[in-house]
Amino acid sequence: MVLDISIVLVGAQTPGNIGTAARAMKNFGFSKLLLVDPPPLSRDGDAYGFAGQARDDILPNHKIVSFDHVVENYHTIAFTAITNQSGSKHMRFPFLTTREVLDEVSQLSGSVALVFGRERIGLTNVEIAKLDRICSIPASPTYPTLNLGQAVTVVLYELSPLSLSESQHPDLESDLATPSELEDFYAHFSSLLSALDYPSQKHEKTLRLIRRVFGRTHPTSRELITLRGVFRRTIRNSSHTTSPSQEEDSL
């Protein structure tokens, strides 16, 4: 069964936060927005003003549902910044972290609802008791509560590999230089040292240093091509430069 993810906002009080959540959905490839007890959403109001391009599809296509409808028809994951972090106090302890939620959702199928609570109090304990899982969004203990729109953005960023195609969500590793390209780069750098008449006793040590530096930095193929272009020009220019010793020999 195909995974079908919906974003549920429960009792949102500020239309602008609904618009911000819709915009985050558009950013990260999600399209189904469910609202429980929402405020009025005017086409000229903050919800549409904050939604960006999501004002054209996601926001106007939202559905208003009851909380019980979500519980009865979806596998539910609730999101909160504060969990009390105690097995004796919290109804869903232990909780997921945002780093774990991708693995959790990846193992599911069918209809899944990501449920976010109110700006001021979040989800009530009664509501949380009806949901399947809870995820804690890490935040500073000095100010642990998140804006509703921010919370949705954080979570959907973590889940974006599920919704974005490879071309939209490129894998950086595919751009990294291959071992063969790195070896060619090191050989070219060695040629550069020779062209610059670099002290022979320091040659090997310098090559080892370069290997350590580039081994840590994981350069891309394009970066190595650019640097090798610099090497070629430097070698070419050095071959046209007469050293002081050569000038003395010609006298």
Question: Domains in the chain and their CATH numbers?
Answer: 3-170 (3.40.1280.10), 174-241 (1.10.8.590)
Find where tokens 């062209």 sit: 195
Q: What pLDDT, in 10s, does the model give residues 170-223?
A: 554 557 888 888 899 999 999 999 999 999 999 999 999 998 888 888 888 899
Nearest to 101 by CA among 84, 119, 78: 78
Q: Are 176 and 218 in contact (CB under 8 A)?
A: yes
Does the structure show a pLDDT above 50 at 22? yes
| Weakest-pLDDT range from 13-27, 87-101, 170-184, 228-242 | 87-101
Q: Are 134 and 97 in contact (CB under 8 A)?
A: no
Q: What is the mean pLDDT of residues 110-119?
A: 94
Secondary structure string (H, E, C) spanning the chain: CCEEEEEEEECCCCHHHHHHHHHHHHHHCCCEEEEECCCCCCCCCHHHHHCHHHHHCCCCCCEECCHHHHHHHCEEEEEECCCCCCCCCCCCCCCEEHHHHHHHHHCCCEEEEEEECECCCECCHHHHHHCCEEEECCCCCCCCCCCHHHHHHHHHHHHHHHHCCCCCCCCHHHHECCHHHHHHHHHHHHHHHHHCCCCHHHHHHHHHHHHHHHHHHCCEHHHHHHHHHHHHHHHHHHHCCCCHHHHHHHC
Q: What is the mean pLDDT of residues 156-175?
A: 71
What is the pLDDT, as a whole number, of residue 138?
Answer: 80
